Every structure is written in C-alpha cells, then in structure tokens.
A and B are shown apart, each in its own frame.
Chain A
Amino acid sequence: MSVDMSKRKTDIGPPHHEQFLPPVIKANYGKWKYHENPKPGVLVHVGETGDKLYSVRAATPRLVSIETLRLYADLADEFCDGYMRWTSRNNVEFLLTEEKNIEPLIGKLKAAGYPVGGTGASITNIVHTQGWVHCHSSASDASGVVKAVMDELFPRFENMDLPAKLRIAFACCLNMCGAVHCSDIAILAVHRHAPVVDHANLNSQCEIPNVVASCPTGAIRPATVDGNQSVEVIDDQCMYCANCFSVCPAMTLNDPDTDGISIWVGGKLSQARHVPMFSKLAIPYVPNNPPRWPEVVDAVKNLVEVYAKNARKFERMGEWIERIGWPKFFDLTGIEFTKYHLDDFTHAGESYNRSLHVRQR
C-alpha cells in the first residue's frame, strides 16, 4: 500500500453538482417554463427568459468501458462544452445550447454505435443487474438478455409510436437489485429448487442460527449430517428466495439445468392517472437459452405488440389490462394461465376475485 494514511481524506461525500452544471442550467435553475420533445431522443427545455437547453439522449449498454466514457467526453467537448449527464435508466444525455449541433452529434453517436432515442411514448433502456458478469447469486445473465431484447425492440426505442411509455426492467434473481417489481414488463430470473447444502463446510462458513432465522417459511432447521453440524431444508416449504444463500455461501441455489426466467406485466411507478402498481405474473418460466434467449425475446415482443395494438392513448400496460380484465389479457396474448399464477404467499388473499364482476366467456 502506497497511501500515506496521515493524509487520507474520508467522509467528504459526493462532489456538489453545481460544478458540473452548464451555464444555461445555472441561469435557469428552478426557472424552466416548459419542455418539448421535438423528435425521438431530443428534448428542449425553455426557460422563462426564452433560454433553450437541448438534451440529446443516447443508448448505452450500462456496462461501459473507460474508452467509451472518454469518447462521450470528447463528444461533449466538441458539441456542448463538456456538459453531460446520465438518466435514471442508464442513458447518456448531452446538454447542448446550440441547436445546430444536434444533428452532427446524433450522427457521431450513431456512427459510434450509441443510437439516439428513448423519449416520449417509446421503450427506453432496460434497467438491469449484473448477472454472470459479476454476481454470485444470478439465475441468468443480465446484460445478454437485455441486449437481445433491445435488439428486437429497437424500432420502439427510435420511435414514439406506442400508446404510452413502456418501461422494461431486468433482475437476475429475486433479490431484485434491479427492483423490477413496478415495471410495465419485468423480466426476472428465478431459481427453482431448494438450496443444495454443503454440509462439510457450512458450520465453518456460517452461523447456523442465522441460517435458520433467514428462512421466511421456516423450511430450514439445524441438523447433524454425516457427523457435521449443519442444517436441513424441507424442500416442499422452500420458495427459492435465496435469503439463506445471502447469509451463507454453503446454501447453493445456482443450477444450470433448472434456473430460468419469469415474465411479469402491468407495473407502474408514477402517480399519473392511476396509483402505482406492482407487476403481476404473466409467464412463470422460460428456459435460459444463451447467447440470445430467443424464448424470452419472443415473449416480450408478443407482449409489446399486443399492448401496442390494443391499448388506448396514454394507457400504460397495467391500465390497459385493468380495463380489459385479466382473462382477456391471457386470451389476447395467448399465454397459458396456470396454478403458478395463483398467489400463495403472505398477502395471497388480496388477489382473489371476491365478486361476480367478470365478463362471461
């Protein structure tokens, strides 16, 4: 270690944002009047004084090399005095004051492989997790599925021709670092069997009472196995949440033969029109099929197309389904309704239909 510990700084917090704001933002901070979306991927914000700020939004894979970051820095220097930001969905935005710079910047971004779009009634970048690139508990890769899905949905990124915006999120296990649970379409990788216990090492790696306490269904209990102090799992009680694996590496869930992907629909976050909603199960399982996950891509594409064809203007996926009813949703999408769609966890009863409000088929 080469660091002189006496000169070390801690607890300085993040850099204050003011040093990173372009002059047009400093002059109009809190004084923006309105904005428009003149074309896909371009926003113009107009201040009370008439000042204009143009934001050009480009796709990124989220996992970016420093080579690409330096490219963005160079483009920002060339077209907007070095000012840029990222969106909450991992797009990069260049902050321009010169309208004439918009098209040349878009041209260079596209040529470098970073297309512009993702505004308005479109599908923008997919919020996602680390997957096989970095995670110990992932039931699938993340970046690969996202890449394959966005390749297929790409025209929806470059255009604004959906009834409303459509937000897709991906999480590679139900820890949900991607917090996909309120997305129009959520792609969630799942484990499907109880943990395999490494009895020889469990007691040296983990606190047995912690492991037992970590299970939300009480499926884990202390046991002596082959002379080792360990735990046993009541398989029928396990719902594969992997909470035990989070506290104890000797409880392995990852399995190439049974891990796969589930697909959920109809969540939303904003307050607009309808209160926020959770995503609900559409497809319990499709297999992991790298490198391009064709079954996942087809399933998502089908959901998007059926929604695009049937929803009314401004209706998010969940609002559309609520209007037509879930039976019609399963009819239109051709998705099979199964036992797995019936909730059996804590708040299960809340989803039972305790009325006669059904459309007879």
Chain B
Amino acid sequence: MTEKKRETPLLDELEKGPWPSFVTEIKKSADKGNASSEDLLGVLERSYREKIGHWKHGGIVGVMGYGGGVIGRYNDLPDDFPGVAHFHTIRVNQPPGWFYTSDAIRKVCDIWEKYGSGLTNFHGSTGDLVLLGCRTEVLEDVFKELTDIGFDLGGSGSDVRTPSCCCGKARCEWACYDSMQVCYDVTMNFQDELHRPAFPYKWKFKFAGCPNDCVASIARSDMAVIGTWRDDIQVDQAAVADYAGSLDIAKDVTRRCPTRCMGWDGSTLSIDNENCVKCMHCINAMPKALSPGKDRGAAILVGGKAPIIGGALLSALFVPFINIDEDVEDLYELCEEMWDIWGEHGKNRERIGEFIQRVGLGNFLEQIGLDPIPEMVIHPRTNPYIFFELDEEEDE
C-alpha cells in the first residue's frame, strides 16, 4: 500500500448520489495498492481545483510493427504524480457485439493488474475495450499477453478504426443481416489497414442490423452498413388486435407512419408496402405483431462524421440494398475504390465525407464506378451551374 495520505475533498463529492461513481472505481484500484490509480486521484483532484486538465499531447508510442492502437499520454506534473507520468491508453479490439464470458474478462483483468492502472473503459467511444493508463516499457508485454489470450489491438490515428456493431442476430429479431459476423469479417479483412495508418485521416465502420441503428452508425461512421428489407412487413393480425387494448393504434402507430402508408379500421391493420420507407416505428411499437420482411439485407451509407473540421455530417446513401451476408466482397471492393481516390487526393485530416463534398458527389461516384440514382439525393440540384462534359457526351 502507498503511504501517501489521500485528500480528495472535491472528488469525494462525486461519490454521493445513486449513480455509480467513477471516483469510487479509481479508489477501488488505488486501495488495492495501484500507484497509478493513487496518483490519478491526486492529479484529478488538482484538475477539479484548478478547472484544467494536466495531460500533455501524446507523442508516438506503440508496439513494434503497428502504427495504431496505443494513445500516448504524459502528465505535465510528473514530479508531483510519478505514478501517472506515463499514462498511455491501449485500445483493444472488442469482440463483435461486446459479448464476453467471465473467464475472458478475468484474463484481461489479470493482465491489467500486472502491468497497468487497473482502470478500464468498457468501452471507448469507437467501441474498443480500453485499458486506461500504463508506462511505455510495458507495452510489448501487454500486447504479447493480450494476443496469447486471443485479443488484438484496435485502431487509432489515420487508419481503419476498430469496427463495431450491434448485437444483431445474437439477440434481436429485427436484425436484417448478420451484423456481428460481417463486422468480424470486415475487421479481419482489413487488419493491415487497421494497424498501420496510411489514410488522409480516420475511417470508421459501423454495422447496424436494422434502421433503429443502435450503434449510431449513420452519425458516427465513414461507412455505415444498416440492415433493411425489400418485401412486405410481416403482420400477425391477431397479435395486432391484442395491442389494441394497450395502444391507440390509429393515433400512435398508423398516424405516426412517415408516409401514412398504414390503416387501422379497429380490427385489421393494412399496409401499402410499396410506400413503406422501412422506418421501424410500427414494428418498434408492436414487436409481437410486426416484423421486418423476409427479403432482408443492408444499405451502405458513406461519409458520416463529427464536426471536426468542416462541420458534422450524416452518412449519405450510396447503396440502397445489398445482400451483405453473401456479398461482403462487394463492400471490400467499394472500400478499395474509395480509399484509392481519397488516399490520392484527400487532404491531411480530411474525412471522406468532406472529401466527397469538395470534389462533388457526381465526380466521386464516377471515379469509384457507381452509377448515380435518385435515392442518393433528397431532390435534384436547384442551381443551374452544371459542369457539362461535351467531349464525353460526344464519345457516347
């Protein structure tokens, strides 16, 4: 045990109240004698007093042969808090769907007890299992022991970031494709791109089994693969009638349909499936009665990102339907085509969504060999400044 007398009056305020406390977590680790956790309490208390962080820019740290997976972090008060002088984060590629056994969890804990702060994030924002805080000299040992129990590092920097997915077919009747398996396959296919940054900037994949998008793919990934279907919603009319007792079906279901393609006459639910846009509201409201159709697959959207730097973007529809369980190779090809042109012409720190807006969607599609279709836009252009390509028209 450390001899230091711990004084954290401000942090102690965050142990009050019903919500689980991160301060309690850090103390649990410090009470076990972890010097990093003890000094983390110290420096964090100081941040709370001074209203400023005490972490320096990363610097390049990592494991041999990888360019990503470790976020270097140093404290700016190493003399006061030597236990966190180095406090590097290790991103560990999580299992798809974030499923674990107690045995796997314990093995990870044992490694982190031996080498690190004893603190983790379950999970990081991108989806990784995050091991929070260790010294440079233990990185290779941690990596070796992680690979011995079957785990590898995730992405960081300008590479394929760790893909993530919803729990899909493992625990959801709405999964329109096997989001966990596709996520796993894509992760394995792009191991080189994941571990060795070579892009203009980061590239995130997220795989959601249905349009409810439980992994926020449309907002948080450069390529969002979202499950959908093409045929009719499956309806169990008897089960619909059962809902009528607890739900105002006309008011809360059919009149909330965005295309008003549903009707309820008090005994039968009718759906004009040609006009259904697969929004999921009616299915969410009556899960025992309705389910997605049987002709299931996924849509591919491209270019989502947070504001840095040209402003936030949602991903835009590129492929309205693909049988992704069978045709995942098509996704690989699409990625390679996009990475080629983005890698060649993208500016430093320019995400693909920004790149597409800069060069124009029409030009970009032409380069990657995808035909423009009306599903890609809310409406056609309203300005008349068209770049006519007379030479090419004559060639046709």
Contact (Cβ within 8 A) A34 B191? no
Contact (Cβ within 8 A) B152 A12? yes
Contact (Cβ within 8 A) A88 B166? yes
Nearest first, the 9 closest Cβ-Cβ pairs linking A and B are A151-B17, A82-B102, A73-B102, A176-B306, A256-B51, A249-B57, A271-B211, A150-B19, A66-B109
Known: A73-B102, A82-B101. A133 touches B122 (CB 8 A): no
Q: What residues make up the interface of A, taking CB atoms closer than 8 Å to B?
A: 1-3, 5, 8-17, 19-21, 25, 29-30, 32-36, 45, 53, 55, 59-70, 72-74, 76-77, 82-88, 90, 92, 95, 113-115, 127, 129-138, 141, 143-144, 147-148, 150-151, 154, 157, 174-179, 181-182, 210, 213-214, 216, 241, 243, 246-247, 249, 254-257, 259, 269-274, 276, 278, 288, 290-292, 313-314, 345-347
- Min C-beta distance of A16 to chain B, whole Å: 6
- Min C-beta distance of B225 to chain A, whole Å: 14
Known contacts A69-B106, A273-B258, then 16 further A-B pairs from the complex at CB < 8 Å, ordered by chain A residue: A3-B141, A10-B152, A15-B104, A15-B150, A20-B95, A63-B121, A65-B29, A66-B120, A72-B105, A88-B216, A95-B171, A147-B22, A151-B16, A179-B219, A259-B52, A346-B310
Q: B180-188, B336-344, B360-368, B382-390: which one contacts chain A?
A: B180-188
Known: A83-B101, A134-B87, A290-B48. A13 touches B120 (CB 8 A): no
- Min C-beta distance of B334 to chain A, whole Å: 21
Please measure, in the bound complex, the distance between the C-alpha atom of A11 and the C-alpha atom of B69, giving whole angstroms: 12
Please measure, in the bound complex, the distance between the C-alpha atom of A261 and the C-alpha atom of B17, giving whole angstroms: 22
Q: Which of B56, B99, B106, B219 is A136 in contact with, Cβ under 8 Å?
A: B56
Contact (Cβ within 8 A) B178 A1? no
- Min C-beta distance of A70 to chain B, whole Å: 6
Contact (Cβ within 8 A) B53 A132? yes
Residues B237-284 near A (CB distance < 8 A): 252, 256-258, 277-281, 284
Q: Which of A35, A76, A141, A213 is B287 in contact with, Cβ under 8 Å?
A: A35
- Min C-beta distance of A317 to chain B, whole Å: 15
Contact (Cβ within 8 A) B105 A1? no
Please measure, in the bound complex, the distance between the C-alpha atom of A69 and the C-alpha atom of B277, giving whole angstroms: 42
Residues of A within 8 A of B216 (CB): 88, 179, 182, 269
- Min C-beta distance of B35 to chain A, whole Å: 14
* B323 CB–A CB distance under 8 Å: no
Contact (Cβ within 8 A) B105 A73? yes
Known: A84-B100, A270-B211. A13 touches B191 (CB 8 A): yes
Contact (Cβ within 8 A) B19 A59? yes
Q: Which of B18, B32, B213 is A270 in contact with, Cβ under 8 Å?
A: B213
Residues of B within 8 A of A87 (CB): 98
Residues of A within 8 A of B345 (CB): none
Cβ contacts B188-231/A at 8 Å (1 or 0 each): 10011001000000000000000111111011100000000000
Contact (Cβ within 8 A) B307 A68? no
Please measure, in the bound complex, the distance between the C-alpha atom of A8 and the C-alpha atom of B14, giving whole angstroms: 43
Contact (Cβ within 8 A) B44 A133? yes
Which residue, of A13, A83, A247, has the highest number of chain B Cβ atoms within 10 A? A13
Cβ contacts B287-321/A at 8 Å (1 or 0 each): 11001000000000000001111111010000000
Please measure, in the bound complex, the distance between the C-alpha atom of A30 and the C-alpha atom of B198, giving whole angstroms: 37
Contact (Cβ within 8 A) A90 B101? no
Please measure, in the bound complex, the distance between the C-alpha atom of A178 and the C-alpha atom of B51, giving whole angstroms: 21
Contact (Cβ within 8 A) A272 B95? no
- Min C-beta distance of A257 to chain B, whole Å: 8
- Min C-beta distance of B128 to chain A, whole Å: 10
Task: Please give me the residue from chain B that is nearest to A151 by CB atom.
Answer: B17
**A–B complex contacts, Cβ < 8 Å, 14 sampled:** A11-B191, A32-B169, A63-B121, A65-B28, A65-B119, A88-B214, A114-B20, A132-B53, A175-B306, A175-B308, A176-B312, A179-B216, A213-B347, A214-B309
Residues of B within 8 A of A2 (CB): 141
Residues of A within 8 A of B99 (CB): 17, 20-21, 83-85
Contact (Cβ within 8 A) A10 B25? no
Residues B120-152 near A (CB distance < 8 A): 120-123, 125, 127, 132-133, 137, 140-141, 143-144, 147-148, 150-152
Residues of A within 8 A of B151 (CB): 14-15
Contact (Cβ within 8 A) B51 A288? yes
- Min C-beta distance of B1 to chain A, whole Å: 15
Contact (Cβ within 8 A) A61 B13? no
Residues of A within 8 A of B127 (CB): 88
* B118 CB–A CB distance under 8 Å: yes
Contact (Cβ within 8 A) B56 A68? no
* B58 CB–A CB distance under 8 Å: yes
- Min C-beta distance of B204 to chain A, whole Å: 10
Contact (Cβ within 8 A) B306 A181? yes
Contact (Cβ within 8 A) A127 B104? no
Q: Which of B37, B96, B219, B310 is A181 in contact with, Cβ under 8 Å?
A: B219
Q: Which of B25, B53, B309 is A68 in contact with, Cβ under 8 Å?
A: B25
Contact (Cβ within 8 A) B219 A134? no
Residues of A within 8 A of B125 (CB): 127, 129, 177-179
Q: Which of A74, A92, A176 is B122 in contact with, Cβ under 8 Å?
A: A92
Residues of A within 8 A of B170 (CB): 17, 21, 25, 29
Residues of B within 8 A of A32 (CB): 169, 171-173
Please measure, in the bound complex, the distance between the C-alpha atom of A106 and the C-alpha atom of B103, giving whole angstroms: 21
Please measure, in the bound complex, the distance between the C-alpha atom of A271 and the C-alpha atom of B224, giving whole angstroms: 13
Cβ contacts B24-66/A at 8 Å (1 or 0 each): 1110110010000100100010011011111111100000111
